[in-house]
Chains A and B, each alone.
Chain A
Amino acid sequence: MTRSGILLVFYFFFYLLIQVMLFKNLVVFNTAFCFLYVAFILFLPIEINVVALMVIGFFTGFLVDIFYDSLGVHASALVTISYLRNYWLGVITPQGGYDANSTPTLEANGAQWFFVYTIPMILLHHIILFLVEAGGFQSFGYTSLKILFSVLFTMMVLVLLQLLTGERRRI
């Protein structure tokens, strides 16, 4: 197993545990949730096979579901994200393409690209998640409020974590 492989396994447990032990208890005003585990799928290497990505996404979502007692809800949202991720990466390829063996992170591609990449993905994830969880469009106003604030919250934590764990520091 290579160094990056070990790192991926570490990230997997890191995101899963921090999600179910910390962010599960951290809901602001009953509306803003943080679903940081999406970042695990978003920051996997760019060249990863889409089928493998979906299986990983399903598995991750399934484990999160066990802790949230919502079997299938997180898994379905995460599988959709995994399916669309590589297409979306292809659409927003920066000039000159991606570096070989790189991961789609903030410091590799710059802030503007990073937001274009993550915000639609996280928005889509949250939309699917909350609509499936509510079982349809009942009390849609409240659901959209939840979606909006949760995207803000998740994005905030995501960016903070990216700034903290950046390997190449710009001085």
Chain B
Amino acid sequence: MNRLLRFFYEYRAFFTFLVLELICAWMIVQNNQYQSASYFNSSNRLAANIIGFSNGVREYFSLRDINKELANENAILRTKLEQRNQSIYSLEVHEIKDPAIINRYEYASAKVVNNTTSFFKNYITINKGSDAGIKPGMAAISSVGAVGKVKSVSQHYSVLISLLNIDEHVSSVIKRTQNFGTVQWDGNDPRFASLLYIPRHVQLLTGDTVVTSGYNAVFPEGILVGIIRESSLKEEAPFHDIKIELAQDFTKLAFVDIVKSNLKNEKDSLELKTIGDPK
């Protein structure tokens, strides 16, 4: 026993090293799990305040762009509303009368206080949290397209998994052909991502739009993800290699809308009952 203790003491540096590295490895594994209720990330109050301060300084340099973007979005929404009003006026709508369906999705707007685009696993911190009703698993979209999912929340802040995260998959569909696949980022260029699992019989065109499918109930149906820029088909390969240009320029992200899907629980529990646990 004595010799054992002496042995440990002799190599105490190495053993401390080993223990600390094991703790690190454990933390990395823990942090990689989707939807962890972690306290030690940028949603904790002190870290978020410091980041918020530095973001406040940076924000002045992009105010002009942000304003322009918001004004554009207003105009688009106004047009859409008017079109919708006109079309409903002449139609008799029988199908959708259930208020639960009409109010399927609620939106909460939040400001981005922290955002990275240059790592393999990028996260976004926003300035709304559980106080605003945000829960892990909700979708985040911007005025132009899909942004990510909520990973963890604190009282006033939340951390989102950015679409620019190699672990993030978004169930998507090509709007023209209605074939669905998965959008995943490959870790290199923040402007482009890959669309996977589109079978080889599909005739693709450059410029086809890719939108969310709504199959996983996180994103609403039809949110723009990106536009096909390049596609190639290797011989013998079952799927196309497709490169899409993301609709949202993640280097300029300023505001996001969090989508609260009110029917998600119902859909998930029904699927769980019939299909079983997906994992």
Interface residues of A (CB under 8 A from B): 17, 20-22, 24-25, 27, 30-31, 33, 50-51, 54-55, 58, 61-62, 65-73, 75-76, 79-80, 83, 132-135, 138-139, 142
A71 to B261, CA, bound (A): 29
Q: Are B120 and A83 in contact (CB under 8 A)?
A: no
Name which of B15-23, B65-73, B135-143, B194-202 contacts chain A: B15-23
Across the interface, name the chain B residue whose C-beta is closest to A135.
B120
Q: Are B40 and A134 in contact (CB under 8 A)?
A: no
Q: Are A70 and B13 in contact (CB under 8 A)?
A: no
Q: Which of B54, B117, B120, B186 has the most CB of A within 10 A?
A: B120
A29 to B: closest C-beta gap in Å: 9
Contacts of B17 in A (CB 8 A): 54, 79-80, 83
B: contact size bracket: 35 or more
Contacts of B44 in A (CB 8 A): 66
Contacts of A51 in B (CB 8 A): 12-13, 16
Partner of B190, one of A30, A83, A134: A30
A-B contact pairs, 9 of them (CB 8 A): A21-B50, A22-B54, A33-B118, A50-B13, A66-B47, A68-B116, A69-B42, A70-B119, A71-B30
Q: Which of A51, A65, A66 has the most CB of B within 10 A?
A: A66
Given contacts A66-B47, A71-B27, A142-B187, contact A133 B121 (CB under 8 A): yes
Given contacts A51-B13, A54-B13, A72-B24, contact A67 B118 (CB under 8 A): no
Q: Are B121 and A70 in contact (CB under 8 A)?
A: yes
